[in-house]
């Protein structure tokens, strides 16, 4: 029997979600962070607690990469590395998935050429709210896009595992 699957949208404004084998959303939230000395960092003990309580076998994390002339990407990559390290240290099966792969699998259209990031992310929040109406409040704010995308990544992960079990 398949256990729960965790989806993670890494980064300081990302999120996490836990999905049951029946594709029900168990829990979702924003990436746990803390703010020491006027900076933001991943709250590793809080993330560890979330992962340990999830009763999951696999963790699907969105693949991240930097773009030229975006200095803040180093911190984004650092956050993703912290997520990867925490997942690996806890012994989960870590799977990295490219955004275009999970988005296409769950029915999200590719970002239009002139579409803003906020509009693009709003579509993720709208889809998550539609798929899991009992959890819609977790996806209602702009800052909740990470949790919404994590839920959709978890759904992709559960679909992938279901295909493997066939």
Both structure tokens of 141: 């704010």
List pLDDT tens digits, range 52-77: 999 999 999 999 876 666 656 677 88
Of the candidates 11, 47, 26, the residue with the CA atom closest to the CA atom of residue 155: 26
What is the per-residue pLDDT for 22?
A: 96
Return the higher-pLDDT residue of 155 and 70: 155
**Contact between 82 and 44 (Cβ < 8 Å):** yes
* Domain boundaries 4-165, corresponding CATH code: 3.30.420.10
Q: Region 74-84: what's the mean pLDDT?
A: 87
What is the per-residue pLDDT for 86?
A: 96
Average pLDDT of the chain?
91
**Would you kindly state where each structural domain of the chain is located, as residue ranges?**
4-165
Q: Which helix (H) or strand (E) holds 111?
A: none
Q: 17: which strand partners?
A: 7, 28
List pLDDT tens digits, range 16-51: 999 999 999 999 999 999 998 888 999 999 999 999
What is the per-residue pLDDT for 66?
A: 67
**What is the value of pTM for the model shown?**
0.92
78 contact partners, CB below 8 Å, separation of at least 6:
none
């Amino acid at each position: 029997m398949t256990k729960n699957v965790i989806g993670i949208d890494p980064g300081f404004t990302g999120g996490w979600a836990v999905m049951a084998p029946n594709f029900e959303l168990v829990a979702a939230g924003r990436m746990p962070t803390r703010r020491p000395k006027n900076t933001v960092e991943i709250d590793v003990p809080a993330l560890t607690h979330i992962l340990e309580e999830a009763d999951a076998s696999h963790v699907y994390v969105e693949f991240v990469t930097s773009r030229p002339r975006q200095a803040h990407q180093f911190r984004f990559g650092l956050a993703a590395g912290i997520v990867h390290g925490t997942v690996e240290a806890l012994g989960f099966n870590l799977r990295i998935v490219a955004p275009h792969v999970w988005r296409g699998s769950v029915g999200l259209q590719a970002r239009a050429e002139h579409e803003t990031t906020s509009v693009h992310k709003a579509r993720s929040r709208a889809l998550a709210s539609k798929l899991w109406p009992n959890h819609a409040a977790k996806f209602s704010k702009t800052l909740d896009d990470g949790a919404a995308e994590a839920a959709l990544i978890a759904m992709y992960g559960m679909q992938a595992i279901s295909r493997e079990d066939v």
